[in-house]
Amino acid sequence: MANQPIYKFYAELDDYKPKIWRRFEVAGNVTVARLGYILMTMFEMQASHLFAFELQTEEESDEHAGSRFPYDEAKNIYRFEIPDNESFALNNDDYVLFDATAIKISRVTKTPKVRLNFNYDFGDDWWISQTLEDVFIDKELNAKELPRVLEGSGYGIIEDCGGISGLEELTIAFKKKKGREYNEFRKWLGVDELDMSAFDIDDMNFRLKKVPRIYADIYERNLGPTKQSIDLLERKYLKKEKVRK
């Protein structure tokens, strides 16, 4: 049974049309880092870059009343990252830095409407706006069902394509299915077709039970993925299902 508070979020990839979004639920006892792995899974990020969460705290308001962090009027952003010697040694005038692996989301906030922005790959600079919609208890829900996607739309990102502008170019090229850009993208990705509007909720919920664990090993334990993990990440299981059919 799910005795922990359940957090329901809405998350959307910034600055891309048509919208790529997810509505999902997680247990309140997951760490901020784990929440990051869940988002990365849902938006097709491959755990090959750094990431961070940012919580705006411009004023001490009701939105942040559920947080157990002290309000600091001199710094208006709480930033959560995976620790490393370089980033955690820096002093920054704009934000207070926290260890994402050591803090549970229930400690960050318990108040709906709070936004927790996710930044992945500081070069391509992907941003996902994430809003807490509800916090509730459901004792009838089996905890093994979490995390889970409730609904969504759109495929996600394409790693190392150059950010939002690159994703837009890639999407247009695969819709045309001809021309120099299409041929370059096709060779690079190793596919002839790519539907950026595709979203398989059943497959995503299957992956949410497995992929975040692989990402935790990569970021927190410096362990490379096994052959079995790589096959999972690359969806080799779908190819096997087609062969059976």
Annotated domain spans of the chain: 2-156+198-244, 159-195
- The angle, 0 to 180 degrees and rounded to 10, between the axes of the packed helices 32-42 and 201-208 is 150
Mean pLDDT, residues 77-100? 77
pLDDT band for 240, please (50, 70, 90 cuts). low
Would the pLDDT of 83 be above 90? no
pLDDT: is 109 or 150 the higher one?
150
Instruction: Work out the number of other CB atoms within 10 angstroms of the CB of residue 217.
Output: 17
Continuous segment of H or E residues that includes residue 42: helix 32-42
pLDDT bin (cut points 50, 70, 90) of residue 244 is: very low
Q: According to the model, what pLDDT value does residue 243 have?
A: 41
Is the pLDDT at 236 greater than 50? The verdict is yes
Average pLDDT over residues 50-67: 67
| Residue 97, beta-bridge partner list | 79
Q: Which 3 state secondary structure label does DSSP give 215?
A: helix
- Sorted by sequence, the CB contacts under 8 Å of residue 171 that are 6+ apart come out as 196
- 6-31 burial, b at 16+ Cβ within 10 Å, e below that, comes to bbbbbbbbeebeeebbbbbbbbbebb
Q: What is the pTM of this model?
A: 0.91
Superfamily covering domain 2-156+198-244: MM3350-like (3.10.290.30)
pLDDT-derived band at 76, boundaries 50, 70, 90: confident
